[in-house]
Structure 1
Amino acid sequence: MDSLDYEKRTKVDLSSDEGEKRSAQSSPRDYEAQSLRSLVEGVDVFGDEESNDIHYKTLSWPFVAILMIAEIVSNGMLALPNALAVVGIVPAVILIVFLGMFALFTAKLLIDFKLNHPEVHNMGDAGYILFGPIGREILSAGTVVFAICATGSELLSGQQALSTLSNQGYCSMWLLLIFAAAVFLVALPRTLGNLSHLGLFSVGLIVFSGVLAMIGASINPTEGRKLDVVVTTNFYDAFLAITNPVFAYAGHFMFFILMSEMPRPKDAMKAATCLQGFSTAFYVAFSVVMYVYIGPTIQSPALLSLPPLWSKTTFAIALGNFLIAGSLYSHTAAKLVFMRFFRRTRHVHSHTVLGWVCWILLCLLAVGVAAVLAIAVPIFSYLIGIVAAVFASWYTYGLAGFFWLHDTYHLEGGWKAISRRWIGTIFALLTILMGAFICGAGTYVSVKLIIDAYDNGLVGHPFTC
């Protein structure tokens, strides 16, 4: 569906005298009303920034692609080779490619929705347009919860890397806290543009780590390994393996926030194409090579299956990516809450004491909660699977169908447009059904995994090394 002309949408200039006066007179309880009014009025998120102190709309499409690759390829790559061991090479590769193509399709629907609704800054704003106030609260809360859990996942990866480098010689809890402090500092810049060059560095690190891991696996193959083209397995084990490639593309919840900081949001599709094309190709190459040389004993993360020296080297290189990916997730959680309460106030675009204090506290809270969960909840690594199943299934896949149906109905002629564009309608409905299936099956598998972990005594204790 063709998007409306972005430049023709209504904008608000917060740098004007009237805007400054209105912002200065706002009390904290007025912020929510102002944020809601901007949604109702269809106002561009950041408006005209020419004379503002802080400029958000500085992201070019190549750097949007880089930030997304830095965030998505991070832990996603390391978990995929294990899927080949469970279902076989051919089904796993087909699944990875299909999900990459499907994620590109749903990205197109998300991007069109954002171009049609420049007031949308995050999934919560989109939820308000689709489902009203309740939808806004659910999708906003889901985004924050998912971003914090993703931050915790990166903290665990960082802790695992540091433990590997230290030969398990230091308390893992303290290593995680040290890594969390570094993530907090990297997340502090107010705009994503200030993180974009770090994103380039992060992509270089994770790609180099992956290439080096493939070289290490080829030099040190597992003797007597048995490779399977197709593996017959039960639904539980199969879907448990499938969740890795499904959630390896779970970055769509950041699309709206990233597009809001682009001076040319129309270029977002170029970034999405670059992201999905690169990630899919790299996922397939890394997964196949690692599985072919290591075989069915490959672990998750895959770097643990390498000899000690290679494992330490690849973990050390990937550590920078875990750091930056974690900062992107925590930045996203903080940005959503910050914009929820300060949208259309001078605290967004000016260096005010209140604005900076709140921003720092939100970043600290996002990273702090993630760290506490990772340390205090013994089943946190399993809990991440449930959160991903409940929210990522909809953010990456299911909601895109609702976006298409909503805009086709409201912008192109109601039910006649829905029936006239029946092919698009069918794809939209299938997208919704797929999101529902992944959500239901993924939640079932994750819950069963927790039960099995408790039954087998695999669950540890909180606040231990």
Structure 2
Amino acid sequence: MSLEGKATPYTEDAKDPVKDEQEVFAESQNQDFHYRTLSWQFVALLMIAEIVSNGMLSLPSALAVVGIAPAVILIVFLGIFGLYTAKLLIDFKLNHPSVHNMGDAGYILGGPIVREILSLGTIIFAIFGTGSELLSGQQALSALSDNGLCAIDLLLIFSGASFLLALPRTLGNISWLGILSVALIFVAGIVGMAGAGANPVPGRQIDAALSSNFYQAFVAITNPVFAYAGHFMFFILISEMRQPQDAMKAAWCLQGFATVFYVVFAVVVYAYIGSTVQSPAFLSLPPKWAKASFGIALGNFLIAGALYSHTAAKLVFVRFFRGTHHMYSHSILGWVAWTALCFVAVTIAFILAVSVPIFSYLIGIAASLFASWYTYGIAGFFFLYDTYHLKGGREGLRTRPIGTILAIFTILAGAFICVAGTYVSIRLIVDAYNQGIVGKPFTC
């Protein structure tokens, strides 16, 4: 289809660009939009901005439940595991350049039904991720203003800013925000650790290891597990790289930075605050230090929320306008559709955040159902599929026993995290209602 063609319905009967194994974005000099402009350095920054944002703030509380040693071992293991699954995702993308998102990958693995399930899951998780960042932004603004405005008003202000930042059509046009976002979350973490060190809790309890039941332990484990939950947007980021072959360099930077920073931040904050540390950790700091930390991190929450909503909008936009001139030119239909998609993504996240009192718990369910597979489990299927279809069928699997065993372990790990995480999240909701700590919708 030429770039000047009209938008056509995306049907299974039509010639499918995913099956054609062509690059997602065509590039020519006369286009208004050039998508494939990202370097691996900027991809790494965008990955860090999106993943590390809220991840680090929940980790000190995990140490308070299971102790320093088990939590640190788990954080490091998951960092290495996340690097391994990132490699499997990147290899699959390089073998199938037409893949733009998890839905496209699902179509290759299992046809149209799997495509729709994984596409819908990506959109849902991205919208819930947006909502999580909106709530973090609202908490930061509330701390900075001493609750001077209604929480809903603060959430609305933050949502409007997130919508505006999500509007650029290409990731290359917002890639510079990655530098700012990473700098902000890094400095915020340093300030948070300094605040904890300058104000240690007297008589605090610090444990190298703690015993707990499965429920308590897995509640704590979900924090580091989902602190790496950003693989769902890897395909979308890699599709806009100039050299997709360099994507593994970005993954190394992401996992290296995240793992080291997570461990240092979690251990330092827990060492000075002890077992009473809250989640997010900045709430455990004295007011002045909390304001300073939240104020610095505010920009990161904003940029991460914009990236999540951009991801949801981009999946739908590419799905319907792929191969048409609306993707590459300043057409009215293209801009109206893109603006509407970004607006809808942020609006749904805002409505969920203000109208569903248990929204923070639902984020855990969404992470359990989708991030467990996108970050961990599905990577095993990618390896098995490509090894079978591209490297000799069953013989290819037989001659790669280590890779095959690791792939099966990855699938089983994703399934376990999905089931156990969902169970824990549902039980947390039940406990919250039993304890009467669930608020009311649309309240300040």
Q: Is the 8 A contact 1:32 1:340 kept in 2?
A: no
Q: Is the 8 A contact 1:35 1:340 kept in 2?
A: no
State which of 355, 370, 388 in structure 2 corresponds to 1:391.
370
Are 2:411 and 1:435 equivalent residues in the alignment? no
Secondary structure of 2:36's match?
A: coil
Q: Is the 8 A contact 2:3 2:323 kept in 1?
A: no
Cα distance in 1 for partners of 2:14, 2:79 equals: 34
Q: Is the 8 A contact 1:189 1:195 kept in 2?
A: yes
State which of 283, 293, 298 in structure 2 corresponds to 1:304.
283
Distance 1:294 1:437, change over 3 A: same
Structure 1 residue 31, shift from structure 2 partner: 3.9
Distance 1:19 1:195, change over 3 A: same
- Which ranges of structure 2 fall in alignment gaps of 5 or more residues? none
Structure 1 residue 33, shift from structure 2 partner: 5.4
Are 2:149 and 1:188 equivalent residues in the alignment? no
Structure 1 residue 32, shift from structure 2 partner: 4.2
Q: Is the 8 A contact 2:168 2:174 kept in 1?
A: yes
Map of 1:68 onto structure 2: 47
Map of 1:202 onto structure 2: 181
Structure 1 residue 423, shift from structure 2 partner: 1.0
Distance 1:34 1:171, change over 3 A: farther
Map of 1:426 onto structure 2: 405
1:10-29 → structure 2 map (5 Å cutoff): 19-21=2-4, 23-24=5-6, 26-27=7-8
Map of 2:137 onto structure 1: 158
Map of 1:366 onto structure 2: 345
State which of 372, 376, 379 in structure 2 corresponds to 1:400.
379
Map of 1:142 onto structure 2: 121
Cα distance in 2 for partners of 1:445, 1:63 equals: 36
Q: TM-score, normalised by structure 1?
A: 0.94
Structure 1 residue 50, shift from structure 2 partner: 3.1
Map of 2:308 onto structure 1: 329
Amino acid at match of 1:269: M
Structure 1 residue 40, shift from structure 2 partner: 1.6
Q: Is the 8 A contact 1:35 1:342 kept in 2?
A: no
Map of 1:215 onto structure 2: 194
Q: Deviations over 1:235-263 (max 9, x none)?
A: 00100000000000000001000000001
Cα distance in 1 for partners of 2:249, 2:11 equals: 34
Amino acid at match of 1:182: A
1:281-296 → structure 2 map (5 Å cutoff): 281-296=260-275
Are 2:103 and 1:124 equivalent residues in the alignment? yes
Aligned-residue identity in percent: 67
Cα distance in 1 for partners of 2:372, 2:69 equals: 23
Structure 1 residue 378, shift from structure 2 partner: 0.6
Amino acid at match of 2:417: I
Q: How many corresponding residue pairs?
A: 444
Are 2:102 and 1:102 equivalent residues in the alignment? no
Are 2:149 and 1:170 equivalent residues in the alignment? yes
Cα distance in 1 for partners of 2:12, 2:408 equals: 34
Q: Is the 8 A contact 1:113 1:404 kept in 2?
A: yes
Map of 1:112 onto structure 2: 91
Q: TM-score, normalised by structure 2?
A: 0.99
Are 2:244 and 1:268 equivalent residues in the alignment? no
Cα distance in 1 for partners of 2:47, 2:401 equals: 32
Q: Deviations over 1:110-132 (max 9, x none)?
A: 00000000000000000000011
Map of 2:424 onto structure 1: 445
Structure 1 residue 169, shift from structure 2 partner: 2.1
